[in-house]
Amino acid sequence: MSASGLLHWYGRLSSRLLMTTALWVTFMVAAIGYSMALSWEIESSARTQSLVASLNGKVYRSSLMVDRHFSQAQFEAQIAAVDTTLAAIRAPTLWDYVLIKRIDVDISSYDREWHYVLVPLMSQARSLGRPVQNERVEEFILRLDQLQEAIIAKRGEFLQIQSRLQALLMTLAVVSLFVIMFFLVRWVIRPTDQLAAGINRVIDGHLETRISLEGSKEFEDIGQGFNRMTARLQDLVENLEAKVKEKTETVEEKNRNLTQLYEVSHFFGQQHSVDELCEGFTTLLMQSANAASCAVFLLDAKKSRVELTASADLPESSFARLSRTPVSYGDVADIFAAEQPLRLSSGHRDRRIPALALEDEGAEQTSYVFHIRNSGKDFGFFVMYYSTKTTLAAQTCRLYETFGANLATALENIRLIERDQQFAVIQERTLMAQGLHDSIAQTLSFLNLQVQLLESALKSGDSSLVGETVAQIKAGVQESYEDVRELLLNFRERLHKESFAEGIATVIDRFEAQTGLKVQLTNIAKGAQLTDKQKLQVIFIMQEALANVRKHSQASEVSVRVRNEDDFEMVITDNGIGIDEAILLERSKRHVGLNIMKERASRIGAQVTVANVDPAVAPSGTVVRLVIGEKARREVQ
Alpha carbon of residue 129 to chain centroid: 121
| Fold classified for 271-392 | Beta-Lactamase (3.30.450)
CA angle, residues 250, 251, 255, in degrees to nearest 5: 120
Q: Which residues of 587-623 are buried (b: 16+ CB within 10 A; e: fewer)?
A: eeeebbbbebbbbbbeebebebebebbeeeeeebbbb
- Predicted confidence at residue 572, as pLDDT, reads 93
- Predicted confidence at residue 558, as pLDDT, reads 92
- Predicted confidence at residue 91, as pLDDT, reads 62
* Residues 572, 623 contacting (CB under 8 angstroms): yes
Compute the distance between CA of residue 43 and CA of residue 45 in angstroms, rounded to an integer. Answer: 6
Domain boundaries, the chain: 3-192, 271-392, 408-492, 496-637
Beta bridge partners of 573: 559, 623
Q: Do domains 271-392 and 496-637 have the same CATH topology?
A: no
Q: Crossing angle of helices 134-184/13-64, nearest 10°? A: 170
- Predicted confidence at residue 347, as pLDDT, reads 47
Compute the distance between CA of residue 631 and CA of residue 556 in angstroms, rounded to an integer. Answer: 37
Whether this model's pTM surpasses 0.75: no
* Residues 347, 363 contacting (CB under 8 angstroms): yes
Compute φ and ψ for 623, nearest 5 degrees: -125, 125
- Predicted confidence at residue 90, as pLDDT, reads 65
- Predicted confidence at residue 542, as pLDDT, reads 87
Mean pLDDT in order along the chain per 10 residues (637 residues):
53 70 80 76 76 81 82 86 80 52 67 82 82 78 80 78 81 81 77 83 82 74 83 79 72 67 66 78 80 86 80 82 81 82 65 68 73 84 84 83 84 76 67 60 64 78 77 74 64 56 83 84 83 83 85 87 90 88 62 73 87 85 90 68
| Strand residue runs (E) in 283-326 | 293-300, 305-312
- Predicted confidence at residue 105, as pLDDT, reads 65
| Fold classified for 496-637 | Heat Shock Protein 90 (3.30.565)
